[in-house]
Amino acid sequence: MPHAITVRPDGKEEFFAGSAPVWHRIGQRVDRALSSQAALKMAALDWTVESRPLFVDGKDGSTREVATHKAIVRMDSQAILGIVGRKYQPVQNAQTFEWLDEVIGPGKAVYETAGSLHGGKIVWALVKLPGELRIANTDDVVKPYVLICNSHDGSIAFRALNTSIRVVCQNTLTLALRNAGPDSISIKHTESIHDRLADAQEVLGLSIAKHREFEVQMNRLAQVRMTKRTFGSYLDRVLGPVPQPTEQDPEPEASAARQQIVANFDDSLQRLKGIEHTAWAGFNAVSQWVDWGRPSRGAAGTRDERRFESMMLGAGADLKRRAWNEALKLARAN
């Protein structure tokens, strides 16, 4: 398999992409799905999982059931997706997508991309919310989304978070990152998960309001001017300071990451009229590097998936969160 996206025995990929840019180099580009049923079919995720008991053989030839764990089996292929604790409760793909429909509102959820990784162990969907966000009197537009991730192997909890895509450079601006907050959902697969999902609908239903708050913050950052010195101090807090000169190395170089982010800050994408040399441009210089410039390990065919996981849920997301929080501190100080 050339990449982590699930490929069925007949060669069909469990993936579709409308206009979302993150996955533009892999999978088949199709029209956006306007319902959970359409998204499930287009991403080939219309399969279910079941919990099955585990057994071990005894020395006397007998077998006994493992009381503490069970297997999660994908029913169409009979593949074992994971071994989980006895309290683990699966959430079906259809339930995940229907939950999104209910949270966002009937007919309002537009599925931009969806698919599965590693044979179906992880399933995700990216859903466009109504409207758009904009820096006042500029062409800098951000589209609001909700990302949802679910695992069938116990590797991650059921997660939903607000995210946005800045159209001008197609970087992804993650609003709610690793730590679940008032605009992020993270629910373990325990016996109460379905009750908690019902409660979570009300919380995530605030997504549109949260994105409007983000628009206000975007515009505030676009009003805060950044000199090269200010930007350097900002990067010190985000990335760590440049090494001090030593006798052995009297002129230490900045890291490759810092050099690229500095270049991004002066790139035409961050010099649109109305945002040039502002805290908003500074944050986007970091975010652009995380999404498109940060090295990703692994074989060439897996790097896009690894970058996606990092920038939405991993180390890349942590870096963007730190960059965002430091930019907001600058805005408050001004």
Enumerate the β-bridge partners of residue 165. 143, 172
Residue 116 DSSP code: E
Task: With beta carbons less than 8 A apart as the criterion, state whether 321 and 177 touch.
Answer: yes
Least confident interval from 26-40, 57-71, 113-127, 206-220: 26-40
Structure tokens belonging to residue 143: 């589209």
User: What percent of the chain has a predicted confidence (pLDDT) above 90?
Assistant: 37
Higher model confidence: residue 89 or residue 206?
Answer: 89
* Per-residue model confidence as pLDDT tens digits over 144-184: 888 888 999 998 888 887 788 887 777 777 765 334 444 45
Q: Other C-beta atoms within 10 Å of 152: how many? A: 27
**Geometric angle at alpha carbon 11, from 122 and 38, rounded to 5°:** 60
**Rounded (10°) angle between helices 207-221 and 279-288:** 120
Residue 265 CB-half CA count within 13 A: 23
Beta bridge partners of 149: 124, 159
Between 168 and 54, residue with greater pLDDT? 54
Give dist(CA 20, CA 29) in Å, integer: 9
What is the mean pLDDT of the segment spanning 319-327?
91
Structure confidence at residue 177 (pLDDT): 36
Enumerate the β-bridge partners of residue 166.
142, 171
- Tell me what pLDDT residue 22 has: 44
Hey, where are the domains in the chain?
Answer: 15-47+88-204, 217-333
The average pLDDT across 210-238 equals: 92
| Cβ–Cβ < 8 Å for 72, 49 | yes
pLDDT reported for residue 305: 66
